[in-house]
Amino acid sequence: MMASDPVHQPPSPAPDAAVPDFVVVDVETACSRVSSICQIGIVGFRDGVELFAYETLVDPLDHFSSFNTRIHGITGDHVVGAPNFGDVHAVIDGHLAGRITVAHSFFDKGALGAACAIHGQAAIETTWLDSVRVAKRAWPELPSHRLNVLTQFLGVRHKHHDALSDARAAGMVIVRAIEHTGIGLAGWLSSTSGRRGVVLKAAATGPMKGERVAILGGARDGTLARHLAAAGARVMASVGSTTTMLVISDDQPFGRFVTVHADYRRAEELRRGKATIEIVTEAELRHRLALPLT
């Protein structure tokens, strides 16, 4: 689990002297119930540097399964005298609430939500960013985007399945992704939080009838998408084998690094395979169709 004997730290609030750009949280659980949090690690980052760290063991008030213990090394003996989740909720909320919170997959988001419900605590209101999705878009060539694979690739020191070390590592994934792509935190939030379930109905007629269009950097139900649907196009969630056009939104947050985006790379692959797919900018399409696309 940890490099030294597991000793829980007393709760301590985030420092008031500096506000982090984002915080990272990781939890370990005692058994298959996601509410059974037995360790929490939180790290704050500012300007690409660690600002503060918080870690505590937690008495899950639940049993420890042998499967989970084999993963993280924490047993019931380790959490004797440790606070339960209700005891540390206020500290966790103080670190996360109102901030951008990174987690490597949304397991941790679900675990915190379940623990809040089980312990009768208010849900933690924060803006979530999944570092797995960020890593997949920053380094699509990697065969796996598990945290231990990423840290080996990036040369980051890491002890897997220790909550504090995992939180630090996930934070460094975000820092390195920003450095590697030039896409800032706001850009990553925008590019990984699209509402995939939104489907606009294509008009029966129009200059785009029969086109299957993916929009890079724009919402699937945004103004551009609505104009395209009104022109007869079917707006897709992402580039696929049947996509006929990729439109690069004027609002795309990637700048000159747009060509590393997974949708752009997929469109290029399809073109090399002789698929009929066009890559155009929003401005080019607006001019072509004489439509008020902004």
Tell me, yes or no, whether 93 and 179 share the same domain: yes
Task: Note whether residue 1 is domain-resident.
Answer: no
Q: What is the CATH number of the domain that holds 181?
A: 3.30.420.10
Q: Is the pTM of this model over 0.95?
A: no
Residue 218 and residue 186 in contact, taking contact as beta carbons nearer than 8 Å:
no
DSSP 3-state percent helix, strand, coil across the chain (nearest 5): 40, 20, 45
Task: Note whether residue 226 is domain-resident.
Answer: yes
Phi/psi at 40 (nearest 5 deg)? -130, 135
Tell me, yes or no, whether 181 and 223 share the same domain: no
pLDDT in tens, 19-34: 999 999 999 999 999 9
The segment with the largest mean pLDDT, out of 41-50, 193-202, 242-251, 271-280, is 41-50
6: DSSP letter? -
Neighbour tally for 256: CB within 10 Å: 7
Tell me, yes or no, whether 151 and 281 share the same domain: no
CA distance 267 to 44: 37
Closest by CA position to 59, among listed 85, 25, 41: 85
Tell me, yes or no, whether 222 and 182 share the same domain: no
- The secondary element (H helix, E strand) that includes residue 188 is helix 185-192
Closest by CA position to 138, among listed 183, 193, 82, 78: 183
Residue 60 and residue 34 in contact, taking contact as beta carbons nearer than 8 Å:
no
Tell me, yes or no, whether 72 and 218 share the same domain: no
Task: Note whether residue 245 is domain-resident.
Answer: yes
Tell me, yes or no, whether 75 and 187 share the same domain: yes
Tell me, yes or no, whether 99 and 186 share the same domain: yes
CA distance 253 to 187: 5
pLDDT given at position 140 = 84
Task: Note whether residue 5 is domain-resident.
Answer: no
Count of domains in the chain?
Answer: 2
Residue 246 and residue 217 in contact, taking contact as beta carbons nearer than 8 Å:
no
Question: Which of 191, 224, 246 is the last residue before a domain boundary?
Answer: 191
pLDDT band at residue 2 using 50, 70 and 90 as cut-offs: very low
Q: What is the CATH number of the domain that holds 243?
A: 3.40.50.10190
Question: Domain range spanning residue 240?
Answer: 212-289
Tell me, yes or no, whether 217 and 83 share the same domain: no
CA distance 83 to 81: 7
In angstroms and rounded to an integer, the radius of gyration of the C-alpha atoms of the chain is: 22
Task: Note whether residue 3 is domain-resident.
Answer: no
Alpha carbon dihedral 128, 121, 162, 38, in 10-degree steps, equals -150
Asked whether residue 175 carries a pLDDT value surpassing 50, the answer given is yes
Tell me, yes or no, whether 58 and 185 share the same domain: yes
Instruction: Say how far residue 18 (Cα) sits from the centre of its chain.
Output: 24
